[in-house]
Structure 1
Amino acid sequence: MGANMTNSIYIGSKGTMNYVNAVMTLFNDPSVKEVILKARGKAIIKAIDVEEVLKNRVLTSVKVQNITLGTEILKNNTGKEINVSTIEIILINEETE
């Protein structure tokens, strides 16, 4: 991956624009070349929304470098193992390259 872990944003229950602003804040730092959006389960939809808002409305210089899909095995409240889908979207700002 090559990115510093501080350049990762974990998508959760906050509003989409909160995450858009977080990505913009990271890209305002000239040393940040890429930002990684990470989500699992129902938050995957929001991660894609964040990427699309950034790419199409806010920072048109942002491009998707890579998308990784996966599955994590977690235990639910009863101890049963469940599969949870994951996504990792690596964004780059072509303006800073």
Structure 2
Amino acid sequence: MAEENIVYIGNKPVMNYVLAVVTQMNSGVTEVILKARGRAISRAVDVAEIVRNRFISDVDVKSIDISTEEIVGNEGTSSNVSAIEIRLSK
């Protein structure tokens, strides 16, 4: 899996990420990975559902992986952050 097939979900509007996924799928890529952490997890789920239901109907969710990542802050404190990885494939 090449790095360009991964879409990192952040704070931008949902449609920006939908456009990125649709553009990759239309360019011939058969699998795109959505990655998000923390509050962006719900945005990643929204992106996957909008792509599946509105734009490309033959896209399936191949797998969903959830995990917890330990983030070290500036003061040396660590906190746990949830992460999700959604694989979309044609």
Farther-moved stretch of structure 1 (52-61 vs 5-14) = 52-61
Deviations 1:23-56 (A, max 9, x none): 01101112x1100000000000000000011111
Q: TM-score, normalised by structure 1?
A: 0.89
Give the corresponding residue for 1:40: 37
Residue from 49, 64, 82 that aligns with 1:85: 82
Unaligned 5+ runs, structure 1: none
Confirm whether residue 21 of structure 1 aligns to residue 19 of structure 2: yes
Q: TM-score, normalised by structure 2?
A: 0.95
Give the corresponding residue for 1:53: 50
Question: 1 or 2, which has the higher helix percentage?
Answer: 2
Unaligned 5+ runs, structure 2: none
RMSD value, Cα: 0.9
